[in-house]
A and B are shown apart, each in its own frame.
Chain A
Amino acid sequence: MTLPLPLRVRKALVLSPPLIWVVLFMFVPYTILFVFSFWQQQYPTFTPALQLGNYQTLISDPQYLRTLLRTIKIAALVSLFSLLLAYPYAYFLVHKVRRPALRQTLYMAVVAPLWVSYLLRAYTWKTILGTEGILNSFLISTGILTEPSPIFLYNQTSMVVTLTYVFIPFMVMPIYAALEKIPRNLLEASADLGMGRTATFLKVTLPLSLTGVVAGFTMTFCLAFGDFIAAYLVGGPDGMMISNVIATQFGASLNWPLGSALALVMLVIVLAIISVSDRFERLGKGAFA
């Protein structure tokens, strides 16, 4: 009955929702941010302008570079510890756990916390690491400490611990997927050719799972890099991250232009990391596929 719509119209209909989404929620906000970053703060708010003063401030005032470097350091540590914990765990699940049901359960044990509010999970660490917290009580009851130690909470270490815990599922998932995809016969072939377990791991398993590692590293790094809750909940006086500075510029300082410039710098860093990791992954596929 109804006439089929021309192909171009049908294509447009299928494509338009995601396109509208991208334009409305990605392109427009970032353009506004970009425009804002050239504006000027002027009491009581800010006025349109076309000047590079905000970017100059970011370079000339050492507080911004210092916070940026600290944020990169914390994000890198979070990714590193996530990797050190997640890789053996995923390897264990894929290669050592024989029963699929048990493997599924252990996998879900890592992923399930994602369904619990991030705030709640971060808050839990306060009760664990605090001066009168669970860790201190345990150490005192076992006689390791004689009085509670304040060193577990409100510093950069507690931020790294909390962020590692919160973001580790994003490391486990891609590594698990990569390890599971490695054909078993490759490992058998390696063994048949006289390679030991270590050599097989280093020459077959590890290279083939690198795409998962890179994906996991990228995700945990970018998530930790943009985090500002951990600094607020478990960070100490030296825990300010770059997102906290942006929040301050959009709030207390009412300097949206400077905040926009900072946000764009952050965006460029994240995009650079993603494109580098993308190249890595393609390299991996090209070399081993």
Chain B
Amino acid sequence: MPQFAQIDTFVSQIFWLLVTFTILYILMSRVILPRISETLTNRQNKIDDDLGKAEELRGKAAEIQSAYEHALAQATETARSVHRDAAEAIAARSEKEHGELAEKLAAEAAEAEARIDKGKTDILTEMRDDAVEIVQAASGRLIGGSVDAASARAALDAVGK
């Protein structure tokens, strides 16, 4: 086996091992590893940064959402109260106008009734006078005597009862 047979090469092997390994160690520790670690750190920072930003934006969105909901609730409340006030005003006016109209109508009705009553009384009085005259004329023709107006009226009243 050359591994054990070529003992004279051991010094050379170990020498070049030390040389090449040292060079690689310096390259790794000074150049390559710092670059990789820098890249990894930068990426981690970027991820943390983006996550932080996302969190912040989410907070803002939630704020806006709650403000919107608040405004919406307020607007709804305002609309409801306006509606209620308007409805009340309309109801009050309608009631008032209704009352006025009813009063007017009642007054007119009363006036008309009074007029009718008066007309009726007049007509009845007139009719009675005519009836008295008719009684006087009829009794004159039937019994040939004259009946005075007072007796005729009394006789009519007795019949009319």
Binding between chains A and B: no
